[in-house]
Amino acid sequence: MYEISMFGLSVTITAWQLLIVKLIVILTVVPVGALAGGYAMHKELGHLQHRLGPMYAGGFHGWAQTLADGLKFIYKEDIIPERADRRVFTLAPAVIFVPVILLFLVIPIDRTLIIEDLDIGLFYLLAIGSVGVIGVLMAGWSSANKYALIGGLRAAAQLIAYELPIVLSAAAVAMLAGTLSITGIVEAQDWPFLLWPPGIGLLAFLVFLVGNIAEMNLPPFDMPVAESEIITGAFTEYSGMRFIFGFFFAEMAHMVAFSAIAATLFLGGYRPIVPWGPLEAIPGILWFFGKFAFMFFFIVWVRFTFPRLREDQLQKFAWKFMIPVSLGLVLAAGAWVLYAPEQLWR
Amino acid sequence: MVMQGGGAGQLADDAATREIAEAVKQRSDSMGTQEMVLNVGPQHPATHGVFRLLATIDGEVLTDAEPVIGYMHRGYEKLVEARDYRQITNLVSRMDWLSGINNELPLAMVVEKMMGIEVPRRAQYLRVIMVEMNRILNHLMFFASFGAELGAITPTFYAFREREDIQRVLEDVTGGRMHFGFMRPGGLKEDVPRGFYASALAAVRQVIARLPDYEDLLIGNEIFKGRTIDVGILDKQTAYNYGVSGPIARGSGIDMDVRKDEPYLVYDEFDWQVSTAPNGDCFDRFWVLVHEVVESAKIVEQAIEGIPPGPILGKVPRVVQIPEGEAYVRAENSLGELGYYLVSDGDKKPYRLKIRTPSYNNVSALPPVLRGTLVSDMIAILGSFFFVLGDIDR
């Protein structure tokens, strides 16, 4: 039996009921989040590019545009190429999409608003976050298309190159916080890690940001899906539902999830940006969404500003710059934890 | 790794299988690789139309590339033989659809040359203004598409906003947005509307005022530099050999511009420079393109300021009938040298009109440049060769 108290209400439910509630929540939050994220992205993109963005669907400022886009894809024919490896081809979008949903499980929206507060939350995030690339590789290999194959292999190469900096920068965070639990990490941030310890937190944030942009295949690291080169790479042969779930929806949900994760790990999640009395009065949920919105705005901004790197330039950047930097980062974080005086910590 | 183009696994022919195995074994590296043919186009977003490139790739490296053209051949050189000269004006306008007026101009010039028609100075000035504004339109278009090919979508929309200002001015004058049909043997179709000079000047100045920002956005970007500097080098000699012209030749350090070398219209009365860059890589070609916008704007400004009064049409007979003979006229199109070789047998229609379009020669220089580059570089190079499909196939 569990007792849940939220917004002044208190209910007692069984473990099964709790599980069902959690499932309903996660299966609502992810699609709604992805759709809202898609809409926000289109609007931001529109204004960055001196145009309006969606304006008609649904009436008010085109709020239903992403919904309409999604519906359109659902009505489209599901085409499977004749020479494709059918089972792998049909499975790939699920392998891409499901891990992205699972990312949302451990993100705390407020002190108590979390689906499952795992003790190894950070480890879980890192592990689940990179499963999707297997789906991309599956899609690329099974499509029987040369462009798709190039895209799949590029994605795999990119994963190997960028998983390491991500893990190392996250390790630095775990060392500073002294825990792998996501709520534990948030609680450790009296000052957000971005600001304190000076330099280390900022550097870890930048490495984490760049690594994740590469892992999500967003520009300037979008070689695996490069529209003008290999025509969305591994997804060239996909259409209809599979395309929208494996590619657009998964990408959007991943961007939303990443923004939430970065806001949690480096910007202090649901806690105020500086430990100052009046700011503490603002509800944590607002802090969280404010930081989340900032991160989301930022990656969309980056996404539509930079040209694309080349595959070999990306690999060089990863192995010759990012990985040495992140190794140094782990060293610096360790030194800070070991030698910095206790009163400097928080 | 052995890359199998679909179905290669079921090779029944023993000899072929052995041959492949032999080829794989011969590779000194531990993992045998095999070349595969990647068919880029005719439907591919980076080819701006139905252009096809047969790329042989080893991993991501192009070992060979062969442009295949002709998907858009409309037989213009034959079609013009059944049309009179005003009709041809509208036809050639559709060759390089990004610079319609630029195509019409040399046609009018070749007719004038053969008939000995004198074009009034005011008409010549107006021609220069229209042609240069059309050139700005064309260059902004390639500015936009090159950014998009390298993955930066936003510059596209900025460039299109600027294009729209100029487009509107040209629309006021000609009524068209792409195929203007405004040149006539002897002058122009009609006079410019009231307020044209002010709006043209404003539109061009707007472009010049905003261009530095766009330049910073692309040319100043480290990733852009990394993607374009020393990529796709077209050296001077190769450029000469293939008859490359226009911004691409000038990007390879060839100081060549028909407007300067063989001034036609009134180009020698204006103060402007030919932009050249020495290295011949993608960056230089793009740099030349952007700087030509500035030079064209300079010409437009000077032409508007110095335009003399007068008629817009010379003394042209009611029926344009060219005496027997032949003539060749060339002019600087937005993408290079455009030439018309006209043979007349004294009829109202041409006996033969040979058209030398810039894109055709420029694209033929692609294979030597593409060999040994990466797939991503291939896209950058295709984008920096600034070709229009209609101009290649016509």
A14 has a chain B CB within 8 A of its CB: no
**Spatial distance between the Cα atoms of A346 and A336, rounded to a whole number of angstroms:** 12
Q: Do A220 and B377 touch (CB under 8 A)?
A: no
Nearest chain B residue to A154, by CA:
B60
Q: Do A308 and B376 touch (CB under 8 A)?
A: yes
Query: So what's the pLDDT on residue A215?
Result: 83
Tokens at A252, concatenated: 């959007």
**C-alpha closest to that of B333 among B379, B394, B287, B380:** B394
How many interface pairs between A and B have CB atoms less than 8 angstroms apart? 85
Query: What confidence tens digit (pLDDT) does each residue in A230-256 have?
Result: 788 788 888 888 888 778 888 888 888
* Closest CB to A222 among B6, B151, B224: B151
Sheet holding B61-68, edge to edge: B36-40, B52-58, B61-68
pTM of the model: 0.82
Nearest chain B residue to A144, by CA:
B6
Q: Do A223 and B376 touch (CB under 8 A)?
A: yes
Most A CBs within 10 A among B44, B216, B223, hence the mutation to make, goes to B223
Most B CBs within 10 A among A142, A229, A303, hence the mutation to make, goes to A229
Q: CB of B173 within 8 A of CB of B182?
A: yes
Q: CB of A124 within 8 A of CB of A257?
A: no
How far does chain A reach from its first CA to its final CA, in angstroms? 37
**Spatial distance between the Cα atoms of B164 and B159, rounded to a whole number of angstroms:** 9
Secondary structure of chain A in the HEC alphabet? CEEEEECCEEEEECHHHHHHHHHHHHHHHHHHHHHHHHHHHHHHHHHHCCCCCCCCCCCHHHCCHHHHHHHHHHHCCCCCCCCCCHHHHHHHHHHHHHHHHHHHHHCCCCCCCCCCCCCCHHHHHHHHHCCHHHHHHHHHHHCCCHHHHHHHHHHHHHHHHHHHHHHHHHHHHHHHHCCCCHHHHHHCCCCCCCCCCCCHHHHHHHHHHHHHHHHCCCCCCCHHHCHHHHCCHHHCCCCHHHHHHHHHHHHHHHHHHHHHHHHHHHCCCCCCCCCCHHHHCCCHHHHHHHHHHHHHHHHHHHHCCCCCCCHHHHHHHHHHHHHHHHHHHHHHHHHHHHHCCHHHHC
Please tell me the distance in Å from A309's CA to the nearest CA on chain B.
Answer: 6
pLDDT tens over chain B, length 394 residues? 344 443 333 444 556 556 666 665 555 455 666 778 888 878 887 777 788 888 888 877 888 888 888 888 888 888 888 888 888 888 888 888 888 888 888 888 888 888 888 888 888 898 999 999 999 999 988 888 888 888 888 888 888 888 888 888 988 888 888 888 888 888 888 888 888 889 989 999 888 888 888 878 888 888 888 888 888 888 888 888 888 988 999 888 888 888 888 888 888 888 888 888 888 888 888 889 888 998 999 899 999 988 888 888 888 888 878 888 889 998 888 888 888 998 988 888 888 889 988 888 888 888 888 888 888 888 888 888 888 888 888 7
Query: So what's the pLDDT on residue A6?
Result: 63
**Spatial distance between the Cα atoms of B337 and B364, rounded to a whole number of angstroms:** 15
Residue indicated by tokens 């608003």: A113
Q: Which residues of B touch A150 (CB under 8 A)?
A: 38, 60, 375
Q: Is the dihedral of CA B11, B15, B16, B20 positive or negative?
A: positive
Nearest chain B residue to A151, by CA:
B60
Query: So what's the pLDDT on residue A79?
Result: 84
Query: So what's the pLDDT on residue A52?
Result: 79
Tokens at A338, concatenated: 């070991």
Tokens at A76, concatenated: 């489209």
* Closest CB to B153 among A223, A304, A313: A304
**C-alpha closest to that of B133 among B108, B91, B156, B105:** B105
Q: Do B45 and A147 touch (CB under 8 A)?
A: no
Q: Name the burial class of residue A306, with classes exposed (0-12), middle (13-18) and buried (19+) by CB atoms within 10 angstroms of its CB.
A: buried
Residue stretches of chain A with pLDDT short of 50: none
